[in-house]
Structure 1
């Protein structure tokens, strides 16, 4: 009865819910295939790791359900609070966060044994803040002091704080921000100024940042693979091998051989494992799912009666799909190696939760679009007289 009650109270775009279910099933199959080497290294059974992943996905679905039941205008109210929390957290992460591969991206959640990337929170915070600010400032959107400086300041501050340790995520978030500025009717001149500021900050990070040699090595490896030390191109090479040996229909579930070689096969390189086991057919199906997700989200955004709903749904959907295609592009050799997971498919801890929140907010906008609007008597009279 409780399950039926929950299903009856599930609102929003049904296709989005179906996409979430499909991605969940794909994730369980792919992660279970890819965690064999991880289980061996940890000295535990693969089933125990899978159960933790299942628990995180169930928690994500529950969080998605809760978020979709909230009026999406509620997120407008907390957008400033999120920004106030996010910027200090990003600074704290850079100074006191856990260092992995010379990057400080994670902070521990006290008493849980879990850690999370503050950049995941920053994506939600910046997108909701931009959607709120752009929708509220439409009447004086050309005003530099009241509109442009606060918007550009938020984008640049978040960009530099994330880019210092996670350049790929920062670049994707910056791209989403520019798309929102275009949708929010910011002038071409002001957008150009924002892009120039972003280019300056990017140059500073690449040339002066603590991971500058990592970035330069990855770019050189991508541009000149034939002249690169095999140790440096190990991950990219084995991802290509996995895809090349998958063929049209793949080797079959659980038959991947590259899981024994690919680092982060269950996370950053999970798309290569999917193609190896399910072939080009499986790979194209997954691409189609993300494209269909973007299509449904764009429909939700265009149907939203208020600018905030349109910008919020568009920004979150752009963020999810850009991240998905960035991950898949790296796997097939169309970009340098990054640490970007495949949304709702890669094994992850709190990243699944933040992705679930993003889905929940999009569904909240969709739910509001579908609900019948109350029309007051005065409005009916006006329509009748017209």
Structure 2
């Protein structure tokens, strides 16, 4: 292991790798954690679907992470201005794919939000592309309409309509993703100094619509996953009387894992709740981390994501232009908020959402687009560092 760590460190120090080196280290540490915990948490799954081949999912995750590092490397070498050029096209494509998923998508977990790529059988989740595309579009629009007094009013329709369309298409099948994405776009608009009347008005309308839809869920049993959202909210705020019906089963098993881990944990590979938790390798992987690595290990993972947020803030401070600054803010918040949501579910701070832990949970689509987002952040970091060096040279 020490040999591979040294090779990885040498690779990070290689001049061909650009951008914030600390972010590269955070990515590497999260990836190593992913391999460790995915291998541990997929034992039961391996016996069910792979005849006991416990190494299958480890090597599958290793291949995915290797592909993701390649994606990060390629994307981080692309100048950030190209992201702005293709922002609108990416948004149109993502909306088209979301509609296609509604019409002919593969039904997984009672939601038609997947597109199966013919030939290879890979399930692609259009909402992950839509998240990236919408953040690109909002960042570009805010930068184009910035004035001395804030964001000009002409930008409102260019912001609100795409946000409503994308979040609306995602909403019925993936409530948590649409809520997170909408919240990040709202924060970007706030940072971009959009007029308060539009901010308050849009939030009021969205809250009213959400409350009405959730309240009317019993009358709309066949509309998306509204009934599931209502049920999860009721279970979260209610007591545990429905455990026998299985409605709180995963929450109870996650609590057991968290308590069993204690401060230092049971040690890697010694989880028992992986045999009882549904999806311990994705939605509830943080519960397995807390059981095996303890609260200290779980806190360490939290620190890595918060450090990513901190480094993103440093990159923003170096940016001399608005588009890259908005883009770094949006992408960094997207990754960190998703991570915090996954962690909060595992420790029962919020209702169950089904959000994976970025770069750690087993999976394909989320890993790919998280890697692309990190590549963009690193690309902007490299540009900001060069701009700062030029400025220092001119001053000297």
TM-score of the alignment, normalized to the shorter chain, above 0.5:
yes
Task: Identify the match of residue 235 of structure 2 among 218, 221, 224.
Answer: 221
Task: Identify the match of residue 36 of structure 2 among 29, 39, 60.
Answer: 29
Is the CA contact 1:134–1:141 (under 8 Å) kept in the aligned structure 2? no
Shift of 1:210: 2.5
Shift of 1:157: 1.0
Task: Identify the match of residue 356 of structure 1 among 360, 368, 371.
Answer: 371
Shift of 1:138: 1.0
Match of 2:4 in 1: none
Shift of 1:345: 0.3
| Structure 1 range deviating more: 198-207 or 214-223 | 198-207
1:318-376 per-residue CA deviation (whole Å, 9 max, x = no partner) reads 00000000000000000111110000000001211100001000001100011157979
Shift of 1:117: 1.2
Shift of 1:110: 2.4
Match of 2:226 in 1: 212
**Structure 1 unaligned residues grouped into runs of 5+:** none
Query: 2-side partners of 1:225 and 1:300: how far apart?
Result: 45
Task: Identify the match of residue 81 of structure 1 among 80, 85, 89.
Answer: 89
| Structure 1 range deviating more: 316-325 or 298-307 | 298-307
Query: 1-side partners of 2:272 and 2:355: how far apart?
Result: 22
- Map 1:8-47 onto structure 2 (within 5 A): 8-44=15-51, 45-47=53-55
Match of 1:243 in 2: 258
Shift of 1:97: 1.1
Query: 2-side partners of 1:373 and 1:243: how far apart?
Result: 45
- Map 1:69-148 onto structure 2 (within 5 A): 69-139=77-147, 143-144=152-153, 146-148=154-156
Task: Identify the match of residue 187 of structure 1 among 188, 195, 200.
Answer: 195
Instruction: Pick closer, same or farther for the CA change 1:332–1:305 going to 2, 3 Å.
Output: same
Shift of 1:200: 4.0
- Scaled by the length of structure 1, the TM-score of the pair is 0.93
Query: 2-side partners of 1:356 and 1:204: how far apart?
Result: 37
1:40-93 per-residue CA deviation (whole Å, 9 max, x = no partner) reads 110341211211111010000000011110111110001000111011111111
Query: 2-side partners of 1:335 and 1:373: how far apart?
Result: 41
Query: 1-side partners of 2:280 and 2:383: how far apart?
Result: 39
Shift of 1:195: 1.1
- Scaled by the length of structure 2, the TM-score of the pair is 0.91
Is the CA contact 2:146–2:152 (under 8 Å) kept in the aligned structure 1? no
DSSP-derived class of the 1:226 partner: coil
Shift of 1:4: 6.1
Shift of 1:193: 1.9
Match of 1:176 in 2: 184
Query: 2-side partners of 1:261 and 1:149: how far apart?
Result: 48
Is the CA contact 1:225–1:233 (under 8 Å) kept in the aligned structure 2? no
Query: 2-side partners of 1:155 and 1:83: how far apart?
Result: 10
DSSP-derived class of the 2:86 partner: helix
Query: 2-side partners of 1:41 and 1:350: how far apart?
Result: 23
| Structure 1 range deviating more: 271-280 or 224-233 | 224-233
Given the alignment of the two structures, is residue 321 of structure 1 paired with residue 336 of structure 2, yes or no? yes
1:186-206 per-residue CA deviation (whole Å, 9 max, x = no partner) reads 011111122123224434653
Is the CA contact 2:38–2:57 (under 8 Å) kept in the aligned structure 1? no
Task: Identify the match of residue 150 of structure 1 among 144, 148, 158.
Answer: 158
**Structure 2 unaligned residues grouped into runs of 5+:** 1-6
Is the CA contact 2:318–2:388 (under 8 Å) kept in the aligned structure 1? no
Shift of 1:256: 0.2
Query: 1-side partners of 2:151 and 2:192: how far apart?
Result: 11
DSSP-derived class of the 1:338 partner: coil
Query: 2-side partners of 1:323 and 1:273: how far apart?
Result: 18
Query: 1-side partners of 2:354 and 2:78: how far apart?
Result: 32
Task: Identify the match of residue 159 of structure 1 among 158, 167, 191.
Answer: 167
Instruction: Pick closer, same or farther for the CA change 1:199–1:5 going to 2, 3 Å.
Output: closer
| Structure 1 range deviating more: 90-99 or 134-143 | 134-143
1:236-288 per-residue CA deviation (whole Å, 9 max, x = no partner) reads 00000000000110001100000111010000000000000010110111111
DSSP-derived class of the 1:227 partner: coil
Query: 2-side partners of 1:20 and 1:214: how far apart?
Result: 34
Task: Identify the match of residue 67 of structure 2 among 59, 66, 71.
Answer: 59
1:105-163 per-residue CA deviation (whole Å, 9 max, x = no partner) reads 2111222221121110011000000000000011396554x310110111111111111
Equivalent residues, number: 378
Is the CA contact 1:98–1:104 (under 8 Å) kept in the aligned structure 2? yes
Given the alignment of the two structures, is residue 335 of structure 1 paired with residue 342 of structure 2, yes or no? no
